[in-house]
Amino acid sequence: MINETKIEEQKLNDATKPALHKALVMGSCVFSECKWESIKHLFLAYHYLKTMPAGILACYGVFDETQLGSAVGGAVFCNGRIQYDGKFLEFSRLWMSDEYGCNTESWFMAKCMKALRKKFPTYEGVVTWADGGRGHNGTVYRAANFVYDGDSRKVKKYVGKNKKVIYQRTATVNDICVGEDMPKKRFIYYFDAKKREQLKRNCP
């Protein structure tokens, strides 16, 4: 005889565990270097900046084979600011679907750091920024072994010819200043593990 009560209880339990279900299928996800076109749609649709950066040097994605290989996460690394040229890559964009668990971003970033160390052996590491104005305090970077390296300077914002906001390094004398961004927290991931651990012990 079929126990209908147990069947209903099982259905209820299954319905209340969507996050666990996604976590269980992480084994179907593949990490890979990719072209920026493969993950561009993620940033245009879901990232708060809604843009792709300039000077892209490397892109990585997470692709779910249970969804016909669709991209469910992406990371973009660029040549960054002049002072970091040839020394540090800039971690410009990161997005990962929340459906795959709270530790997925750390797993994804660890994969990226390992791949970048091999791809750019002459670089010291990766620099990135946490924008407090957007509610980001750098927790995800600390969890991925990035080291806090101080705050950036304030940067003036301007309205350009196309009515879009641009920053002082690309502004002209004809552009109108509309304020400034508050400093961001700077984090660095050093490829040298000994240096990274030493600095982590000394940083606040």
Query: Which residues fall within 8 angstroms of residue 18, CB to CB, at 6 or more apart?
Result: 99
Q: What is the DSSP letter of 154?
A: P
Measure the CA–CA gap between 203 and 201, rounded to whole angstroms: 6
Domain boundaries defined on the chain: 13-152+183-202
Measure the CA–CA gap between 79 and 71, rounded to whole angstroms: 24
pLDDT in tens, 44-102: 999 988 989 989 999 999 999 888 889 999 999 998 777 788 899 999 999 999 888 77
**Cβ–Cβ < 8 Å for 132, 184:** yes
Query: Which residues fall within 8 angstroms of residue 94, CB to CB, at 6 or more apart?
Result: 74, 75, 76, 105, 108, 109, 140
Record the pTM. Answer: 0.76
Burial of residue 148 (number of CB atoms within 10 Å: 0-12, 13-18, 19+): middle
- Average pLDDT over all residues of the chain: 81
Q: What token pair was written down for 102?
A: 């709270």
Looking at CATH, the fold of the domain delimited by 13-152+183-202 is given as: Aminopeptidase (3.40.630)
